[in-house]
Copies of this chain bind each other. A is one copy, B any other.
């Protein structure tokens, strides 16, 4: 059981950030986040997430050109923006990732299963990335307001990788956070049976 401070850091006090302090994120911090997130579960260990961490001004500008107006400044000012993609050819790596059985054969030729598995599991990995970032003291600003075709052309050209969502990483400017929106109560969305 984590202590209350850790629960506050991961879930209760953490907020999605819109503004960023001018404090850099190191490559070592990015790798530390990856080394945590990669251990969390995916179906048959399929690990379909492929991630470009846009850190240079030039690459962030390239990404900013693909996002909705309300996200342009967030992309420009975040120290790093993770472009979280999913590899639709993920199953070709299953002999490496899940070597004890022929899991590749479950997917070959089944496009609906491929797509659902890539989307679900890369999204799980995106959530793990955000909580891993918070766990090492970073803040997150996830965004889905962008043009996916433009992002794919800019960051995953001629590739089986397609973007899922993007996420700013850095040290959030708490003065720019909006008031917290309401959450559902347990009984509104859950049942114990």
Interface residues of A (CB under 8 A from B): 1-3, 6-7, 9-12, 14, 16, 27, 30-31, 34-41, 43, 45, 47, 49-56, 59, 87, 93, 96-100, 116-117, 119-120, 123-124, 126-128, 130-132, 135-137, 140, 142, 144, 164-165, 178, 181-184, 186, 189-193
Contact = CB atoms under 8 A, between A and B. Distances in A.
Contacts of A137: 1
A53 B2 contact: no
Contact of A130 (B40, B59, B130): B40
The 10 A-B pairs at the shortest CB distance, nearest first, are namely A127-B127, A1-B137, A123-B123, A45-B181, A11-B36, A38-B183, A124-B127, A53-B192, A59-B193, A2-B135
Contacts of A192: 27, 30, 53, 55
Contact of A52 (B41, B127, B191): B191
Copies in the complex: 2
